[in-house]
Amino acid sequence: MEINNKSIAYAFIANGVQIFLNDEDYFIASKLVCSDCGDSWYMNLTECFLCGAKNPFLFRCSSCGSFQSITKSSGKCNSCHSENLFIMCPNENCISNKDSNINKEANSFGGVFNKNSGLLIAQQYCLNCGSQKHQYKSYKVFIRSVNTNEIILKDLNLDLNDFTKDSILIVKYKTGGSNPQYCLLKYKDLTEQNIKLSHLKNLFSDIVKELFPVGDRKKQ
């Protein structure tokens, strides 16, 4: 993989986007997002199977009710020193907290958010808008580096047969020892031979935000 492409690929990964390669000079950038608002969807994130509350990654002491970190735990409650620590659902109104039998049975497996309980499930509801739908959003990404902000399309040696409607061109503009700036060009932007780079971004994360925007929930 060419070094410029590799550098941009790593920049995508750092911004939560997955990269897929073939033998060509472009790659696929893909992300699982909410179908309604575009927010990131995390299949490794778990939620309570019973009420949908997000995993807090915290122990709760069933004796005194205090919460504490699961990563720094000594196995005893920091407040009352009891050993009754469980990864319980943090929703007071969850049936696993309101019903004493269910609570007892769930805690016998370490609490709702202990994977042995079988009472947790991968993310089902969007963290931003509450939608139940997710989908892959992906682009075919072409990278070109230039040192002038006025470019001629044919000089970029893009194979326009490969540049399909879901393709994007990221032009990395850099002069001398300056930091790179980035310009995002889409299929519809490549109609003219002479292109003046505009809306240059100083941060690569701004390019990612433009490609994977998070908005309000779609009107139903």
Partner 1 sequence: MSPEIKFPTNPFEDIKPSEFNKLNKKHVTEDFVSENLKNLGWDVYSPFNDTGIDRIIIKSVCPEGHTEVNGNLKNKKCPICNKESIGIKRFVQVKTRQLKNNIFGFTLKSKDIRIDPRHIYFLYSDNTTAEKQDFLIISVKQYLKFFIDNSINPFAPTSFRKGNNKLNSLKYNSSTDKWSWGRHSWEAYRNIFGMEKIQDSNVDINLNIEIERTRELADKLQRVFNKGSSYSEDTKNKINEELTKNLTEYKDPSKIINLRKKVEKYLQDNCDQITIDSMNKYFEFIKTLDTIGEEEDGD
Q: How far is the CB of 200 from partner 1 (least distance, A)?
A: 26
| Binding of residue 215 to partner 1 (CB under 8 A) | no
| Binding of residue 115 to partner 1 (CB under 8 A) | yes
Q: How far is the CB of 15 from partner 1 (least distance, A)?
A: 9
| Phi, psi (degrees; rounded to nearest 5) at 127 | -70, -25
Residues sharing a CB contact under 8 Å with residue 82, sequence separation 6 or more, in sequence order: 61, 62, 63, 64, 76
Q: Which listed residue (7, 25, 51, 62) binds partner 1 by CB under 8 A? A: 51
Distance CA 73, CA 135 (A): 37
Q: Total binding residues for partner 1 by CB under 8 A?
A: 77
The nearer residue to partner 1, 84 or 138, going by C-beta atoms, is: 138
Q: Confirm if 46 and 55 have CB atoms less than 8 A apart.
A: yes
Distance CA 2, CA 27 (A): 11
Q: How far is the CB of 151 from partner 1 (least distance, A)?
A: 24
The nearer residue to partner 1, 35 or 63, going by C-beta atoms, is: 35
Nearest C-alpha neighbor of 60 from the set 21, 112, 123:
112
Subset of 53-112 contacting partner 1 (CB under 8 A): 53-58, 65-72, 87, 90-92, 95, 99, 101-102, 105, 109-110
Subset of 16-45 contacting partner 1 (CB under 8 A): 16-22, 27-28, 30, 32, 35-36, 40, 42-45
Distance CA 59, CA 114 (A): 10
- Residue ranges in 55-213 assigned as alpha helix (H): 95-98, 100-107, 204-211
Q: How far is the CB of 125 from partner 1 (least distance, A)?
A: 5
| Binding of residue 114 to partner 1 (CB under 8 A) | yes
Q: Build a one-symbol-per-residue string for 180-199: x at contacts with partner 1 by CB under 8 A, - elsewhere.
A: --------------------
| Binding of residue 207 to partner 1 (CB under 8 A) | no
Distance CA 83, CA 199 (A): 58
| Binding of residue 172 to partner 1 (CB under 8 A) | no
Q: How far is the CB of 176 from partner 1 (least distance, A)?
A: 30
Between CA 45 and CA 27, with CA 126 as vertex, the angle to 5 degrees is 75
| Phi, psi (degrees; rounded to nearest 5) at 2 | -65, 145
Q: How far is the CB of 84 from partner 1 (least distance, A)?
A: 16
